[in-house]
Amino acid sequence: MRTRPTLTWTPAGEPAPRTTDLSEVVRVLGEGGVVVLSGAGLSTESGIPDYRGAEGSLRRHTPMTYQEFAGSEAGRRRYWARSHVGWRTIARARPNAGHHAVAALHANGHLSGIITQNVDGLHQAAGAPDVVELHGSLDRVVCLGCRGTSAREVLDRRLREANPSFTAEVTRINPDGDVELPDEVVREFRLVPCVGCGGVLKPDVVFFGENVPRPRVEECYRLVDEANAVLVLGSSLTVMSGLRFVRHAAKSGKPVLIVNQGHTRGDAHAAVRVDLPLGQALTAVTAQLGCAA
């Protein structure tokens, strides 16, 4: 069963108190055993916009849903034409100070795990190990027929061969790795099938309206259960795929700390809400803990 995608939410009641004081974050991290849950806000300083911030991509485009991709060749053509251009920008993105700080916190024993809602691979590029990619990765492609996986670079090469005269100018990249393209450009784009079975190829990411694989969800619950606290970085927690872990931690009596610019759907569960840019905040935290990135 696939859920209906949740794209937005409206805060209810009084806004949660916010602070710029990082002392509680530093204290909890100093005790160790913290699991990080990161979102698109962590990658904005690498040039990848988030969905729902002041410049969020949802203000100008509707992301692809699983239902549209699986049920419509026109939908797949639109996605792959736009993503073929946008993925190159994602692939060139480099980790920012926030990613490096998270890797340093892990290397110095302050973190017990990292869960990310991002699909850009920047945590791993910064040196963080054993990252659970909740929503998958744009670096991989999966066949909806045989379920075989392959590297995105291979598909990129095949798409370039199938569309030798295809050119488009990148103006703004979206968090899901696509860009805006004119309809006439999309219509001329040629798709390629799975080389193994001829099936439909899909990026190995969880689209809106698609469920996260159950084993991955269970691994995240295990990390939260074994952690002393949960630290949310750069996520509005709008979608249940991430919010459920915050709710689970709070129900279990574990402190939830949120560092994010703007309100989040998990604010009611937070022991502390820090409103600062992620790079600035995490660089300060690592410096105070003596493990500067």
The residues annotated with a catalytic role in the active site are 135
Q: For 241-269, what is the HEC assignment?
A: HHHHHHHHHHHCCCCEEEECCCCCCCHHH
**Phi-psi category of 63—alpha, beta or left, where left has phi over 0 and alpha has psi -120 to 50?**
beta
Is 139 annotated among the ligand-binding residues? Answer: no
Answer yes or no: is 146 a known binding residue: yes
Q: Is 43 annotated as a binding residue?
A: yes
229 among annotated binding-site residues: no
215 known member of a binding site: no
Q: What are phi and psi of 231, to 5 degrees?
A: -115, 110
DSSP class per residue in 169-194: ----B-TTS-B---HHHHHTPPP---
Report which secondary-structure segment, H or E, holds 28. helix 23-31
Is 38 annotated as a binding-site member?
A: no
The string of DSSP letters for 196-221 reads TT---EEEEE--BT-PPPHHHHHHHH
User: Any binding-site annotation on 244?
Assistant: no
The answer on whether 291 is annotated among ligand-binding residues is: no
Q: Rounded CA gap, 293 and 287, in Å? A: 8
196 is in an annotated binding site: no
Residue 268, amino acid: A
Q: Is there a binding annotation on residue 260? A: yes
178 is in an annotated binding site: no
Strand order in the sheet with 256-259: 131-133, 111-116, 34-38, 229-233, 256-259, 272-274
- Cβ atoms of residues 160 and 152 within 8 Å: no
Cα distance between residue 209 and residue 213, in whole Å: 13
55 known member of a binding site? yes
220 annotated among ligand-binding-site residues: no
Residue ranges at the known binding site for NAD(+)? 39-59, 117-120, 234-236, 260-262, 278
Task: List residues forming the annotated binding site for Zn(2+).
Answer: 143, 146, 194, 197
- Please enumerate, by residue number, every residue annotated as part of a binding site: 39-59, 117-120, 143, 146, 194, 197, 234-236, 260-262, 278
